A and B are shown apart, each in its own frame.
Chain A
Amino acid sequence: MEQPLIEFRGVTKRFNNHTVLDQVDLQIYEGEVATIVGKSGSGKSVLLKHIVGLLQPDKGAILFGGKSIYKMGKKEWNRYISGVSYMFQNNALFDSMTVFDNIALPLRQTTNLDRKAIEERVRLRLEQMELGEVEKKYPSELSGGMQKRVALSRALATDPKIVLFDEPTTGQDMIRRNAILSMIADYQKRFGFTAILISHDVPDVFFISSRILALSEGKIIFQGTPEEFETLQHPFQHEFVQSLEELQEHLTGIYSKRNFKVRYQKILSRERPQESFVAGLFTLDNFEGICKLLGHTTGQMVLESLGRYINKHFGAVGGFSARQSRSEFSIILPFSYLSEAEQILRDFSMELQEEGLRIIQTEARIYRDICFEFAILAGLAGGEFGAKEIDRIMDDARENQREVARVYCGERR
């Protein structure tokens, strides 16, 4: 069995008479994105602070590669802690330093890199995080979102092996929230670090997480994949996750994956068996490329706008849609046949190519001088209620995907 990179064994932490962590056992594996979810005040930040040694447990042990971090010698501890970065909830930026100096600080103080090498590394981070224009500004002169990006740049400046994110999206609007999550996922893939995340951004955070850890009343009540978490039978699911999902749906008009399935099941129970329907899957092709070239915020804006466009079009013909993954949307057209749905898709495709893509680009603020080619793929699959699991029908739709619209730069091919 794979050895955990970080392991909590019976960790208990009390503040005065209040037990914040109660016999916590958890495992974090190398290279994964582990997300800790829980209500406010449930001890998530306390848990994270134990990993970097800012807090010490009253009972229990925290192991790194099988060895207790509190039994490490000075050299060993330095080696361990130099591979860990922490992004604080309130950013903890040095307010008397410029953005550039904030990012350069860990490099200046903990490495032997010369001035030029430090400058190059900081500029690279600034560029990657779209912060080039604010390098001489002070944190108090920046918006909340920019401050988050500066904190993220500083956390990644030393190329850490483990990065702890304490609510990295707090106080951000929806686009920025998803952009930050997307950025974390992107960097995690690129640099291969282990990410431990505290987030309330359900369900978006599920799209980027390999594992979910649910903390309730000081105990870890669940550890597993996001898919397993969605089927968890526990009051915590209803109180915490569902309420957050409903808020998200209320704001966007697009169903969460879980509620999409719930609605599907409702229709299934209401309608006669053998009643047919069509499922569709839309993918924003080369989403990673958009993020890389135009930035994560623009990537999210494109996605958001596309989601709205799909929802508007298929909602008008009785369908309902949901976010399926980071760059996919699913739709269900109840009581439809595949031939009808194909015709609706053809109309949608024409409308999207002629007008929709322009609207999406305008909404995402992509102007002509920074044209970037991207395509929308779509696939349909027919089903009968009760005949197949919705996930399998979606897999069929994915197999049937073809290009339905494309943004061309220069001459149209």
Chain B
Amino acid sequence: MPLISPLGRGAIRLLNHLGALSIFLVKSFFMIFQPKQLPLIIEQVYSIGARSAMIVALVGLFTGMVLGLQLFYTLVKFGSAGVLGSAVALSLVRELGPVLTAIMVTARAGSAMAAEIGSQRISEQIDALATMRIDPLRYLVSPRIAASMISFPLLTALFDIIGIIGGYITGVMLLGVNSGAYFYRVRSSVEMEDITSGFVKAVAFSVIVSTVCCFQGYFTHMQKDAYGAKAVGLSTTSAVVLSCVLILVGDYVVTSLLL
């Protein structure tokens, strides 16, 4: 009994948390389609998408370069260096592109979402919105969710393309794989299904990241044993950690469903 009750309490807490998160997501999602949302969504696409493009491209380039390098030496052992293009492209499009993009955007834009909304909560700006008859979920959360759903697939595509170029730089330019063979393999091995599954993952991650980060920021004032700036810091940290864990869990779930 002494062991079971804490376990039960933990389970109830987890269920409560998941329930609150689901209601938060559903309410915010349907508010995307309300009037006056377009300018707010465009502003967030710029903040989450456009401003993350550089870092995503940079990470994509080096990921592709490392992949090119590692896979080249592995494939050479089997005398199959010619399929380097396929190996790099499939790894990026199916797996690394969506996951690493989501993690990078979590670090850059997700933390900003949690911190911004959290500081608005502790300075009563969210209460001010409510008193002005502006629904804080509509004004603050739903544009971020919509913008993430638009930006994540685009950033993933950017990551994939730059990654393939990165693989080309190391494989072809530095290690001497045939240029024509590299691109032929990329074209022939990547099918529409791979691209679709990558985009499905990107959309799933966008919902996870934006909801978790906004939720943590929105309920900053309910942090245990922390108030003010400390609570904002704690919310930001837990938003990033939880998002990253859920991205990896979600990746497994989506992959197993799609395969």
Residues of A whose CB lies within 8 Å of any CB of B are: 49, 52-54, 78, 81-82, 84-86, 88, 90, 92-96, 105-106, 108-110, 158
Residue-wise, chain B 136-148 has the 8 Å CB interface mask toward A (1 for contact) of 0001000000000
Bound complex: CA A333 to CA B19 (Å): 75
Bound complex: CA A52 to CA B133 (Å): 10
Q: Are B127 and A109 in contact (CB under 8 A)?
A: no
Residue in A49, A52, A92, A93 whose Cβ sees the most chain B Cβ within 10 Å: A92
A-B interface, 8 closest residue pairs, ranked by CB to CB distance from nearest: A92-B128, A86-B131, A92-B124, A106-B132, A109-B134, A52-B131, A110-B133, A92-B125
Q: For chain B, residues 43 to 75, give those with C-beta under 8 angstroms from any C-beta of chain A.
A: none
Q: Are B132 and A105 in contact (CB under 8 A)?
A: yes
Known A-B contacts: A52-B130, A88-B128, A109-B36. Give 9 more (CB < 8 A). Answer: A53-B130, A54-B127, A81-B133, A85-B131, A95-B123, A96-B116, A106-B132, A109-B132, A110-B134
Specify which of B116, B127, B134, B139 is in contact with A88 (CB 8 Å cutoff): B127
Q: What's the least CB distance linking A128 to chain B, in Å?
A: 19
| CB nearest to B130 among chain A residues | A54
- Offer 30 A-B interface pairs, CB within 8 angstroms, sorted by A: A52-B130, A53-B130, A54-B130, A78-B133, A81-B131, A81-B133, A84-B131, A85-B132, A86-B128, A88-B124, A88-B127, A90-B124, A92-B124, A92-B125, A92-B127, A93-B125, A94-B128, A95-B123, A95-B125, A96-B116, A105-B132, A105-B134, A106-B132, A106-B133, A106-B134, A109-B36, A109-B132, A109-B134, A110-B132, A158-B132
Bound complex: CA A307 to CA B125 (Å): 40
Bound complex: CA A158 to CA B125 (Å): 18
Question: Which residues of the other chain, A, contact B133 by a CB distance below 8 angstroms?
Answer: 78, 81-82, 106, 110
Bound complex: CA A32 to CA B139 (Å): 34
| CB nearest to A97 among chain B residues | B125
Question: Which residues of the other chain, B, contact A90 by a CB distance below 8 angstroms?
Answer: 123-124
Question: Which residues of the other chain, A, contact B134 by a CB distance below 8 angstroms?
Answer: 105-106, 109-110
Question: Which residues of the other chain, A, contact B127 by a CB distance below 8 angstroms?
Answer: 49, 54, 88, 92
Question: Which residues of the other chain, B, contact A93 by a CB distance below 8 angstroms?
Answer: 125
| CB nearest to B36 among chain A residues | A109
Residues of B whose CB lies within 8 Å of any CB of A are: 36, 116, 120, 123-125, 127-128, 130-134, 139
Bound complex: CA A49 to CA B131 (Å): 9
| CB nearest to A81 among chain B residues | B133
Q: What's the least CB distance linking B164 to chain A, in Å?
A: 38
Q: What's the least CB distance linking A47 to chain B, in Å?
A: 15
| CB nearest to B127 among chain A residues | A54
Question: Which residues of the other chain, B, contact A49 by a CB distance below 8 angstroms?
Answer: 127
Question: Which residues of the other chain, A, contact B128 by a CB distance below 8 angstroms?
Answer: 86, 88, 92, 94
Q: What's the least CB distance linking A132 to chain B, in Å?
A: 23
| CB nearest to A106 among chain B residues | B132
Q: What's the least CB distance linking A51 to chain B, in Å?
A: 10
Q: What's the least CB distance linking B94 to chain A, in Å?
A: 39
Bound complex: CA A365 to CA B133 (Å): 41
| CB nearest to A52 among chain B residues | B131
| CB nearest to B124 among chain A residues | A92
Q: What's the least CB distance linking B224 to chain A, in Å?
A: 14
| CB nearest to B40 among chain A residues | A109
Specify which of B36, B125, B130, B131 is in contact with A94 (CB 8 Å cutoff): B125
| CB nearest to A86 among chain B residues | B131
Bound complex: CA A110 to CA B132 (Å): 8
Bound complex: CA A81 to CA B125 (Å): 17
Bound complex: CA A310 to CA B127 (Å): 46
Q: What's the least CB distance linking B135 to chain A, in Å?
A: 9
Bound complex: CA A54 to CA B130 (Å): 8
Bound complex: CA A95 to CA B134 (Å): 17
Question: Which residues of the other chain, A, contact B36 by a CB distance below 8 angstroms?
Answer: 108-109
Q: Are B139 and A109 in contact (CB under 8 A)?
A: yes
| CB nearest to B39 among chain A residues | A108
Q: Are B123 and A92 in contact (CB under 8 A)?
A: yes
Bound complex: CA A112 to CA B36 (Å): 10
Bound complex: CA A90 to CA B132 (Å): 16
Residue in B36, B125, B127, B131 whose Cβ sees the most chain A Cβ within 10 Å: B131
Bound complex: CA A93 to CA B128 (Å): 8
| CB nearest to A53 among chain B residues | B130
Bound complex: CA A409 to CA B127 (Å): 49
Bound complex: CA A54 to CA B131 (Å): 8
Bound complex: CA A81 to CA B132 (Å): 8
| CB nearest to A77 among chain B residues | B133
Residue in A49, A84, A109 whose Cβ sees the most chain B Cβ within 10 Å: A109
Q: What's the least CB distance linking B175 to chain A, in Å?
A: 48
Bound complex: CA A111 to CA B20 (Å): 31
Question: Which residues of the other chain, A, contact B124 by a CB distance below 8 angstroms?
Answer: 88, 90, 92
Bound complex: CA A90 to CA B134 (Å): 19
Question: Which residues of the other chain, A, contact B123 by a CB distance below 8 angstroms?
Answer: 90, 92, 95
Bound complex: CA A105 to CA B125 (Å): 12
Bound complex: CA A104 to CA B126 (Å): 17
Bound complex: CA A94 to CA B131 (Å): 14
Bound complex: CA A53 to CA B133 (Å): 11
